Amino acid sequence: MSEPRKNVRAVACMVLENTLSSLASVDPVLSSFDRDLEERDRRLLHQLVFGALRWLRRLDAIIVEASSRRMEEIDRALHCPLRIGVYQLVFLDRIPAHAAVSESVDLARQRTHRGGAGFVNAVLRRVAASPSLAAWPVVAEDPVQRIGIETSHPDFLIAEWIRQYGERQTELLAVANNRAKPFHLLSFADRGGRPALAAELAEEGLVTEASSLSPLGLVVRGGNPLDTEAFRRGVCYIQDEASQAAALVPPPRDGETVFDAAASPGGKSLCLLATGRDVRVVCADLGLSRLEPLIGNLRRLEREIPVVVMDARERAISGTFQRVIVDLPCSGTGTLRKHPELKWRVSRSELERLSAAGLTLLDGVARLVEPGGILSAITCSLQDTENEAVAERFLERHRNFSRLGLEERLESPLDEFVQGRGLWRILTSGDHDGFTVQVFCHSPGAA
């Protein structure tokens, strides 16, 4: 294998630093830096950035042990060259060790004094002598710290999950978060459904298999669907299979009227339409800028859905709906596989802020649910502080709502993820993300 262009590591350091120092998603930061790279270098850049973000805490632990210094004692300008270097040595067997070391040393020399470059060289050479995770074991006895360091998650998040799910399930969840995931596609019943989409993609050289979770979904095992004519023609939509499943809790009924209160980019509404049922949907979001992704998707998919600019916390439209769907503000901890940067931003105060915002949004959309209708609150987070706790406060304030029983409304395999009355949750695992759905019924005449 010929050596990739030498600027890729420098670009990776800039992306990593920009992502960690801002609240921006890593994807737009990456896009702003990778435009001029060849495809091979672009793949390496994404691998380095996502790998370093996923394994950030474990990389830092190795750096600390190899240098005998705390990270706070190391020049901040050297953090990312060290992280990128250690990641290559420990996780990428196709990168020659001498290349990983020498280019990180060159980066250090550009960023700081000669002594800094020598320090990076010494640390990476120690790691290169034992380039595996097993050679740098975690010795913490406390399970929160041990799992947190071994799987590269913050202690706060691990502690939350152990409280909810137990130590073993938390470990499995944290391990799953560090695995890359394949593309998932949503097919549409009125365009031939899953069999027709699979056949068309096969003709374009893609390898797919049916989703085990969603009756509408395909998992891509080979090829890039974004490069296909099928995608350009609008016969499929990129959507995680667990997200598809969450939108179908419970399945829609023919003729059902639906209000999607925080709709963009459109996955929940599109999933309901994809079933082929005669569902009448209205989509809303805060402003035109928020709605642009939804409008773009509707245009590509050739779908006509009424779109409203509206703050769902305030009743800005008249009428009620048989189903109201709302994506609650959340930490996104069910999507850490594709958004690993979120791990390093979550905190107890942030969960409290998001929970308060979610309750306010639920209060607002409750007025749009007709008597006998349902309210579906969806998050891509796994903490009860953002889900069950919010629901309990909502039900205390809205006595005319109650949790809707789901067991008899869902078929296999979705019924396996019912966690209690009106509560459906799937943890990150296999090929998919994690989601929580809570469903409430508006009971006429309830006190």
Rounded to whole angstroms, how far apart are CA atoms 271 and 248? Answer: 7
Cis bond before residue 329 (omega within 30° of 0) = no
Name the residue type at position 232. R
Any idea which residue has 């002598």 for tokens? 129
82's tokens: 């060290």
The ranges assigned to domains in the chain are 7-137, 144-177, 184-238, 241-442
pLDDT at 1: 41
Closest CA to 62 of 91, 24, 41, 35: 91
Please give the CATH topology (third level) of the domain spanning 7-137.
N-utilizing Substance Protein B Homolog; Chain A (1.10.940)
Can you give the pLDDT at residue 447?
A: 44
Residues in the chain: 447
Q: Using CA atoms, how far apart are residues 82 and 63, in angstroms rounded to an integer? A: 7
CA–CA separation, 435 vs 207, rounded Å? Answer: 26
The one-letter amino acid code at 357 reads: A
Pairing between strand 217-222 and 307-309?
A: unpaired
How is domain 184-238 classified at the architecture level of CATH?
A: 2-Layer Sandwich (3.30)
Q: Are the C-beta atoms of 428 and 371 separated by less than 8 Å?
A: no
For CA atoms 305, 310, 313, 319, the dihedral sign is negative
Q: How many C-beta atoms surround the C-beta of residue 415 within 10 A?
A: 14
Instruction: Report pLDDT for 425.
Output: 98
Question: For position 446, what pLDDT does the model report?
Answer: 52
| Residues taking part in catalysis | 380
The reported pLDDT for the residue numbered 126 is: 98
**CA separation for the pair 328, 345 (Å, rounded):** 18
The pLDDT value recorded for residue 445 is: 58
For residue 95, what are the contacts with CB-CB under 8 A and spacing of at least 6? 88, 89
Instruction: Look up the CATH superfamily of 241-442.
Output: Vaccinia Virus protein VP39 (3.40.50.150)
**Along the chain (447 residues), what's the average pLDDT of each consecutive run of 10 residues?**
63 94 88 84 94 98 98 96 97 91 93 89 97 95 97 97 98 97 96 96 97 96 96 96 97 96 95 96 91 95 93 82 96 97 94 96 95 97 97 97 95 95 97 97 72
